[in-house]
Structure 1
Amino acid sequence: MAPETDVLIVGGGPTGLALAISLHKQGVKFRIVDSESGPAQHSRALAVHARILELYRQLDLADDLLGLGYKLPATNIWVEGKHRAHISLRDFGEGLTPYPYILIVPQDAHERVLERKLKTHGIFVERRTKLEGFVDSGSSITAKLVRQDDGTEITCEASYIVGCDGAHSVVRHQIGAKYEGGTYVPLFYIADVEAEEQDSPLFNGEAHVTFVEDTFNLILPYAQERRVRLIGITIPKTNETRQDHKLPESHPEVTFEDVLPDIKRVSGIEIKKVNWFSPYRSHHRVASTFHKNRAFLVGDAAHIHSPVGGQGMNTGIMDVFNLAWKLATVITQNLMTEEAKTRLLDSYETERRSFALSVSGATDRGFTLLTTPGFLSHMLRAWIIPYMAPLVTRFQYMRMGVFRRASQLICSYRDSPLNHESGESETVQPGDRVPWAKTDSADNFETLQYLCWQLHVYGEPWPNLSEWCQKMNIRLTVFPWDKKYGEVGLKKDAAYLIRPDHYIAGIFKGESILLKLDGYFSTHGLTCARPLSH
């Protein structure tokens, strides 16, 4: 007997909701449960980066977030009360993406958009429902769920289970994955506040980083009104910056009144209203495995990062888009062998864990430099950052490099087992995100709103390629050659095979192109790469 559903999603935050919408769009049955009574009630994560907006087009969500969000216009650096730098962020990533900016969307609003989209399909999160555990039989999983309102126990049998259930993930504990990394010693706080009517330069709709002695504040606007997010340190730092697995999660009761004197000392701002305040420990951890048999980890269940750069939620949502099409493929393509299904699903960990490790390492290094006492860190905060950052961002190449990293456009899967290796060294290679190029007549990202396998040809297609694509149900788009394609690294007359998550699976050219394409799908057991959605 077949399981009652294809996928059990545990967790109704941004990653769980995005996974649910993507699976529904691809015809996959699922249940989504969450232990909370509703979406987030506070702003939490704020930044939505360009890569997420690109992918959200597939789910008809990008415009919704753009309508809600605030495009961060600039950031400022203050040292000991003196303004040292102003860095414009308007169209910071121009030429790289249709979304060349940092979009600020409070997580509570973000989640409401996602849940509303799910409800338009008649699908609802099963709230106040907790996962107690599950058994993986090899052919399916059987989960024990408990309704918290009345204690009713429910059994759910599914083909797969995905843990989107946060840093204390039940799914992660169940599969025995270690959560490797550490906890930063300083106790930090987040506060969402509204300002008094004043002429403070720190409430001008721009971001501000203020350094005073060995402490700092980050002031981040999340609306055009006088509403900002404050991030700072609540207690004095020790000589250590972190300990591995030894620091208790508990912390002394710290109130906003306790940190208000330090806020005034560092920034001098006057607060009208506090909408949310929370002290917290910051962590950097990556699970030892993202996947075991029929269980998967996504988002904070798999990795957690320091707040530098707003990478955590964005990395989790990218996990979703990597995993969703692979789950949909193995569930809906009945002609795939079990070996091919296993290889495809195993590629999720291969691709995403290595990227999570790189993000965690980079944010850890940045966070440590910002928060460690000492001469080197003082020089970094007082002199190097204030004077070098504006200089670096004046040069287009440097600015584009910063934006690629911050917005996760840099994410690449060049070592993926799903790549077709051509043996040629090119600027754009299999495993890379398709580079964006807009000409006077076309935008090559327009077709990427369709969640399916695609072929892009820039120039002239080889004979019979159109017939092959019709037979394979692969969307073919031919772009007349333009020098702008060459400028971003695309090759004339080459055929780029693009996965449903916008990454290049292979670059094909020459007279044997059809044989090479057939060989790719045969090798990976994808006997029919039919469109997953239209």
Structure 2
Amino acid sequence: MTRTEDAAPLETEVLVVGAGPTGLMAALVLARRGVRALVIDSKEGPTRESRALVVHARSMEIYDQLGLTQQVLDGAVPGTGIQIRGDRREFGAIHEKSGATEAEPGSTRRASRINIDQAQEGWTPFPGVQIFEQSRNEELLARTLATEGHPVLWQHGLESLVSDADSPDAGVEAVVTGPDGPLRIRARWCIGADGAGSAVRHQLSLPFEGVTDDATFCVADVHGVTGLPENLLVAQFGNEKFAILFPLGPGGHKRLIWLHGEEHPDQETALTEARTDLGIDYDSVDWFSAYRVHHRIASTFHQGAVFLAGDAAHVHSPLGGQGMNTGLQDAHHLAHLLADVLSGHRSESALARYELERRPVALTLIEWTDQAFGMIARPGRGTAFLRRRARDVMAVLAPRLLSTRLGPYVGGLLGQYRIRYHAVPKGEQPPRWAADPAVGLRLPPTRENAEGLRAMSWQLHTYGTDADRPVAVPDWVEGPFAFSPDPWGRLRRDRLYLVRPDGFVAASFPLHAGAAAVHEVREALQAHDVVG
């Protein structure tokens, strides 16, 4: 059927522009919460290139809430830690023997191993990282959406978007173009998840503030790399360059990421220099790309009825593999928030929490990766000399640090499950219901609470005690559920916890004779814009 601009618009509750991991995650969470969402993308289907690689622990917890964890694990290569290496001229041919990393006889240096999984053990059900490429994330999420009756509208690109910032209740109206001509779509909200060049952000004329680095970032998928462990990420230090290698599968299949320099190189030149300086041998190349690195953030993540998420809202260096994970968590947060408002559980004013909670996460990530980019990855002899000195210190101190009490904290930052949403601005005295260290963090996992979190509902929890249900709590809040004591002591026996659908602890109420103070409960509900 031929479409015309005069035809009646297609109606949906949320229009998601962009079918990358961020947009697909938002649509799937919305669908599971009973919200009609339509995803459009100008591509013909899911991305075929691997692009982003790493799925961190917190993102695995989100996949677990969606019941997709096993499918990720079945297709992923596990990464348990990071090996810190110099090139072969310094370390010799390093190999794995009986689980320990050694140097060849005659070498005086050893490769150092940082065990991420051990630092995260007990704090997340999914310690370490999973190497599960962006293409596989997209394919899994798109397939799940289609199976559940919410297929992506592929080959449909955004042409125009009308949204009144002063009247968000008016919703949005979009015109998209597809194989059958123009199509109008009307929605209550729009999520721009269409990447760094976001058409949604441009339609809103929102600044994308930051810098573009003058160095060129190179990425290659190679086969036949020898002398490297199968299930470790490798930080490789050369005379002038620095690279990170990610395991992609058997046969020495690796993702190689390094900085080339100021010139935009061709594949042969870049790989020849990487081979020479970094001492990395390989047999064949599947894919190569070179691009400039951006460190940018949108001036706002929310304008009227439109929200930005993922790369449309913030971009940064791929060092640390945080980008795709941050986008997945943007989407998870925002989708639950929109579903809460649409269901009448929270007021419209709660939508401001998306920017208040997620933009500081992006700012911190950009600042951290920008500093790491300058100190670790930049080419040049002067920087390389300082980098090698820092490497020697890091090779000794990092494993020791992760074995101390700071290890779980550092592991939580790397896994992104230590992100905290502050109940009050920093520096202000928190109310009693927010004074517990667990408030603002995602609920620490125990053997018993995982199944409850899969319900995607507001809940009351206790750990090691029973509690009365506060009269001020709306009837759609489930619980209280009484769980066994937390063996790690992160959740207190004398508290009643209010948990959001995204798994974050909204409040912790002191208990007296099994009851929480009514005024504290009402104060916490009001602070979270909960509707009684």
Question: Where on the TM-score scale, by shorter chain, does this alignment land: which range?
Answer: 0.7 to 0.9
Distance 1:201 1:512, change over 3 A: closer
Secondary structure at the aligned position of 1:95 is classed as coil
Counterpart in the other structure of 2:361:
355
CA deviation profile, 1:208-254 (whole Å, cap 9, x unmatched): 2222222122221112342110112233x5xxxxxxxxxxxxx74x4
Do the aligned residues in 2 keep the contact of 1:17 with 1:115 (CA within 8 Å)? yes
Cα distance, 1:134 vs. partner? 0.9
Counterpart in the other structure of 2:457:
452
Counterpart in the other structure of 2:20:
13
Gaps of 5+ in 2: 1-7, 92-109
Counting only pairs closer than 5 Å after superposition, residues 470-489 of structure 1 correspond to structure 2 as 471-481=475-485, 484-486=487-489, 488=490
Distance 1:129 1:348, change over 3 A: same
Do the aligned residues in 2 keep the contact of 1:50 with 1:407 (CA within 8 Å)? yes
Q: Is 2:211 the counterpart of 1:182?
A: yes
Do the aligned residues in 1 keep the contact of 2:80 with 2:117 (CA within 8 Å)? yes
Q: Is 2:329 the counterpart of 1:318?
A: yes
Distance 1:318 1:405, change over 3 A: same
Secondary structure at the aligned position of 1:430 is classed as coil
What letter is aligned with 2:279?
G
Do the aligned residues in 2 keep the contact of 1:8 with 1:32 (CA within 8 Å)? yes
Secondary structure at the aligned position of 1:309 is classed as coil
What letter is aligned with 1:62?
T
Among residues 173, 181, 184, which one is paired with 1:142 in the alignment?
173
What letter is aligned with 2:390?
I
Do the aligned residues in 2 keep the contact of 1:85 with 1:390 (CA within 8 Å)? no
Counterpart in the other structure of 2:421:
413
Among residues 197, 218, 232, which one is paired with 1:168 in the alignment?
197
Counterpart in the other structure of 1:245:
none
Among residues 49, 52, 55, which one is paired with 2:62 in the alignment?
55
How many Å separate the matches in 2 of 1:262 and 1:2?
Answer: 55
Do the aligned residues in 2 keep the contact of 1:326 with 1:344 (CA within 8 Å)? yes
Distance 1:130 1:383, change over 3 A: same
CA deviation profile, 1:429-487 (whole Å, cap 9, x unmatched): 43222223x4xxx433332122111111123223355x8879334243212335x252x
How many Å separate the matches in 1 of 2:481 and 2:516?
Answer: 20
TM-score normalised over the length of structure 1: 0.86
Do the aligned residues in 1 keep the contact of 2:260 with 2:379 (CA within 8 Å)? no
Among residues 296, 304, 307, which one is paired with 2:307 in the alignment?
296
How many Å separate the matches in 1 of 2:528 and 2:237?
Answer: 53
Q: Is 2:240 the counterpart of 1:210?
A: no
Among residues 122, 131, 141, which one is paired with 1:114 in the alignment?
141
Moved over 6 A (4+): 467-470
How many Å separate the matches in 2 of 1:271 and 1:523?
Answer: 57
How many Å separate the matches in 1 of 2:452 and 2:458?
Answer: 11
Q: Is 2:407 the counterpart of 1:399?
A: yes
Do the aligned residues in 2 keep the contact of 1:3 with 1:140 (CA within 8 Å)? no
Distance 1:455 1:3, change over 3 A: farther
Secondary structure at the aligned position of 2:120 is classed as coil
What letter is aligned with 2:295?
H
CA deviation profile, 1:147-188 (whole Å, cap 9, x unmatched): 1x35x1111111011000000001111222211111111111
Cα distance, 1:523 vs. partner? 5.8
How many Å separate the matches in 2 of 1:195 and 1:363?
Answer: 30
Q: Is 2:448 the counterpart of 1:443?
A: yes
Identity %: 34
Cα distance, 1:122 vs. partner? 1.9
Secondary structure at the aligned position of 1:132 is classed as strand
Do the aligned residues in 2 keep the contact of 1:73 with 1:90 (CA within 8 Å)? yes
Do the aligned residues in 2 keep the contact of 1:209 with 1:216 (CA within 8 Å)? yes
Counterpart in the other structure of 1:281:
292
Distance 1:2 1:500, change over 3 A: farther
Distance 1:79 1:370, change over 3 A: same
Distance 1:330 1:314, change over 3 A: same
Secondary structure at the aligned position of 2:405 is classed as helix
How many Å separate the matches in 1 of 2:65 and 2:245?
Answer: 33
How many Å separate the matches in 2 of 1:462 and 1:205?
Answer: 45
What letter is aligned with 1:162?
I
What letter is aligned with 2:137?
H
Among residues 154, 158, 175, which one is paired with 1:131 in the alignment?
158
Among residues 83, 105, 112, which one is paired with 2:132 in the alignment?
105
Do the aligned residues in 2 keep the contact of 1:217 with 1:266 (CA within 8 Å)? no
Cα distance, 1:91 vs. partner? 3.6
CA deviation profile, 1:66-95 (whole Å, cap 9, x unmatched): 111111134222234323432134444112
How many Å separate the matches in 2 of 1:450 and 1:424?
Answer: 24
Among residues 49, 65, 75, which one is paired with 1:42 in the alignment?
49
Cα distance, 1:5 vs. partner? 0.9
How many Å separate the matches in 2 of 1:261 and 1:111?
Answer: 32
Distance 1:416 1:144, change over 3 A: farther
How many Å separate the matches in 1 of 2:464 and 2:321?
Answer: 39
How many Å separate the matches in 2 of 1:522 and 1:264?
Answer: 59
Counterpart in the other structure of 2:466:
461
Cα distance, 1:376 vs. partner? 7.2
Cα distance, 1:201 vs. partner? 1.1
Which stretch of structure 1 is more off in the superposition, 162-171 or 72-81?
A: 72-81
Which stretch of structure 1 is more off in the superposition, 306-315 or 72-81?
A: 72-81
Distance 1:273 1:8, change over 3 A: same
Do the aligned residues in 1 keep the contact of 2:224 with 2:284 (CA within 8 Å)? yes
What letter is aligned with 2:366?
S
Do the aligned residues in 2 keep the contact of 1:421 with 1:430 (CA within 8 Å)? no
CA deviation profile, 1:233-278 (whole Å, cap 9, x unmatched): 233x5xxxxxxxxxxxxx74x4321223212213333332211111
How many Å separate the matches in 2 of 1:376 and 1:272?
Answer: 31
Secondary structure at the aligned position of 2:154 is classed as coil
Counterpart in the other structure of 1:267:
278
Counterpart in the other structure of 1:383:
389
Secondary structure at the aligned position of 1:310 is classed as coil
Number of paired residues?
Answer: 494
Secondary structure at the aligned position of 1:234 is classed as strand
Do the aligned residues in 2 keep the contact of 1:214 with 1:371 (CA within 8 Å)? no
Distance 1:452 1:224, change over 3 A: farther
How many Å separate the matches in 2 of 1:206 and 1:265?
Answer: 22
Counting only pairs closer than 5 Å after superposition, residues 489-508 of structure 1 correspond to structure 2 as 490-508=491-509
Distance 1:20 1:332, change over 3 A: same
Secondary structure at the aligned position of 1:4 is classed as strand
What letter is aligned with 1:267?
L
Secondary structure at the aligned position of 1:19 is classed as helix
What letter is aligned with 1:208?
V
Counterpart in the other structure of 2:107:
none
Counterpart in the other structure of 2:224:
195
How many Å separate the matches in 2 of 1:411 and 1:8?
Answer: 28
Counting only pairs closer than 5 Å after superposition, residues 324-339 of structure 1 correspond to structure 2 as 324-333=335-344
How many Å separate the matches in 1 of 2:485 and 2:258?
Answer: 51
